[in-house]
Structure 1
Amino acid sequence: MKQNLTKSRILNLNQLDLSLSLPNDDYQVQMKEYKNKIRDLTFLAKAKNKPILIVFEGWDAAGKGGAIRRFTSEIDPRLFEVHNISAPNTEEIQHHYLWRFWNRIPKVGHIGIFDRSYYGRVLVERVEGFAKESEWARAYEEIFLFEEQLQSFGTIIVKFWLHISSEEQLKRFEDRKNDPLKRWKLTDEDWRNRDKWHLYEEAANEMFQKTDSPKAPWFLVPANDKYFARVMVLEAVTKRLEEELK
């Protein structure tokens, strides 16, 4: 039976039900339905000159890449670009932290997808001490205003946090370590970040509270079950596009 996976949004990681799952048969049916809708909606956004910005944040190994691949699989490849965000390079670090993201925002009728994003300012830079408290504390308002300017331009914004348990992350790390084709994805930094799980969780929850808005909503996705997570992402994007393009 098809469920409305996004009917009520939760903005605290501790309140998510990570036991939620989706049977394979339901997954296949719903993925096909949502992919077809998203393909049509992205063509409509193109016709209406509406940019779309989709932000993916979440734990290491939470399935962001897999969700992005399923989301884009039926979209015209000329209409989207995926930006894999890592540490700023030597030029970028000389500018305001939002500069490199202004240079990547989607043009009219196109889709920009951030795998990690400007929210790193209040996540990794906060937790790891790469930004001073005065810098990350003022970033909430800077980001809010940044997204507000994008909205004024007509950009449709959707933001996701893919959430898994610490135990599920450890299992996925071990699977990667033992798989020669996936071992490259695992770094020493990934292991070290596990020691700061609660600090990242605290930073994320504060981020949701201070940067969620009706026009730039956060969707917290229970992702212990990859099928459930992928369908929820596609459902959320579908509904946002239908709301904004009707």
Structure 2
Amino acid sequence: MPINLADIERGAPFAGDYASALAALQERLSRAQVAQIVHRRRAVIVLEGPEGAGKKAVLKALGAAFDPVHYNVHNITPDRRHSNEGHWLARFWNCLPAAGHTAIFLHSWYRRVLEDHVMGLVSEKEWKRGFDEINEFEAQQRDYGTLLVKLYFHATDRILDERIAARASDPWRHHLLGPVELRTVDGREAYRQALAQMFKQNDTRWAPWTGIDANDEPAARISALTVIADALEAAIPKEPPERVQPAIHFSKPAKVTPA
């Protein structure tokens, strides 16, 4: 059943001690990442949503929990290449994680069927073909043992407008306003139509979408981090693997007697 964004527009504030809940989740995520590293599992986390929906705040919270050596963040911008310069998914293959690592995509291959489509950067034939290409790409990752977690952050137009206006009025936050995302503000209805089609085509059994109510930022962070922690814990064994090498024994260095 495709996601209906109207179902997640509650905007209820987080009930409870936010600081304690965040710390507990970050501890869970840290432990889950250690298990992922030890078991040499791969994970891909996709953060999608409009400008002002709180994706970067979740990214910062993840960064505070994860060992930075074992994850990479990819901020995906529109593909400016022409079709004769190679397949459009090629740049994403180059970003996929190695064993024991996580790749986090701030926007992703879904730009093809969302922003790029709405802004007319790709032809109708190209974006329609993109749905099947994405499904095949994600199925290949799951067949190869990679965990896929796809989160879509949704907030109402009123909330998004308030957040964008706050950034526009603060010169220290102008850098948070992406020109591509701002151009889609005027085309929100077209974006909603593209989004509905994307959920219909790409909310699959092997790579399902999870909608995040982003109207209340603290609640959205807790919700998103909980989904990620649950997914990692479900996919990765909690016990360490059997030792494949002899135990390493350390001996004290021999005491040297002065001459």
TM-score normalised over the length of structure 2: 0.86
Q: Does 1:228 align with 2:213?
A: no
Aligned to 1:114: 105
The answer to whether 1:152 aligns with 2:143 is: yes
Counterpart pick for 1:125 among 108, 112, 116: 116
Once residues 19 and 142 of structure 2 are traced to their aligned partners in structure 1, the CA distance between those partners, rounded to angstroms, is 33
Aligned partner of 2:44: which letter?
Answer: L
Q: Report the 3-state secondary structure (helix = DSSP H, G, I; strand = E; otherwise coil) of the residue aligned with 2:65.
A: coil
d(CA) in 1 for partners of 2:81, 2:9: 41
Of 8, 26, 30, the match for 1:16:
8
Deviations 1:121-163 (A, max 9, x none): 1101211111111111121111111011111111000001111
- Give the Cα–Cα distance (whole angstroms) in 2 for the partners of residues 15 and 93 of structure 1: 42
Instruction: Please tell me the residue identity of whatever aligns with 1:214.
Output: R
- Contact 1:10 1:219 (8 Å CA) reproduced: no
Contact 2:14 2:219 in 1 (8 A): yes
Q: Between 157-166 and 125-134, report the one with greater CA deviation.
A: 125-134
Question: CA offset at residue 89 of structure 1?
Answer: 4.8
Kindly state the Cα deviation for residue 92 of structure 1 after the two structures are TM-superposed. Answer: 9.1
Q: Is the 8 A contact 1:10 1:16 kept in 2?
A: no
TM-score by length of 1: 0.90
Q: Distance between the aligned counterparts of 2:221 and 2:83, measured in 1?
A: 32
- Give the CA deviation at 1:87: 2.2
Q: Which residue of 2 aligns with 1:216?
A: 207
- Structure 2, unaligned stretches of length 5 or more? 238-259
* Correspondence 1:185 to 2:176: yes
One-letter amino acid matched to 2:88? Y
Structure 1 residues 162-171 or 177-186, which shifts more? 177-186
CA 1:92–1:117: 2 relative to 1, 3 Å: farther
Match runs of 1:232-243 below 5 Å: 232-243=223-234
Task: Work out the number of aligned pairs and report it.
Answer: 237
The equivalent of 2:245 in structure 1 is none
Residues 51, 178 of structure 2: 8 Å contact kept: no
CA distance in 1, matches of 2:178, 2:58: 21
Residue 194 of structure 1 aligns with an amino acid whose one-letter code is V
| Further displaced range: 209-218 or 105-114 | 209-218
Question: Aligned residue for 1:3?
Answer: none
Give yes or no for the alignment of 1:102 onto 2:83: no
Q: Calculate the aligned-residue CA RMSD, in Å.
A: 1.9
Counterpart residue number, 1:46: 37
* Distance in structure 1 (CA, Å) of the matches to 2:83 and 2:98: 21
Separation in structure 2 between the aligned mates of residue 188 and residue 118 of structure 1, nearest angstrom = 18
Query: Is the CA contact 1:13–1:201 (under 8 Å) kept in the aligned structure 2?
Result: no
Match of 1:73 in 2: 64
* Partners of 1:177 and 1:183 within 8 A in 2: yes
CA separation of 1:214 and 1:29: change in aligned 2, threshold 3 A: farther
Would the aligned equivalents of 2:43 and 2:147 in 1 still touch at CA under 8 Å?
Answer: yes
Task: Report how far residue 192 of structure 1 moved.
Answer: 3.1
**Amino acid across the alignment from 2:11:** S
- Compare CA radii of gyration and give the structure with the larger one: 2
Q: Distance in 1 between matches of 2:26 and 2:167?
A: 28
Identical columns (%): 30
Where in structure 1 are there 5+ consecutive unaligned residues? 1-8
What is the letter of the counterpart of residue 13 of structure 1? Answer: L
CA distance in 2, matches of 1:176, 1:93: 38
Instruction: State the alpha-carbon separation in 1 of the partners of residues 42 and 83 from structure 2.
Output: 24
SS at match of 1:182: helix
Native 8 Å contact 2:54 2:153 kept in 1: yes
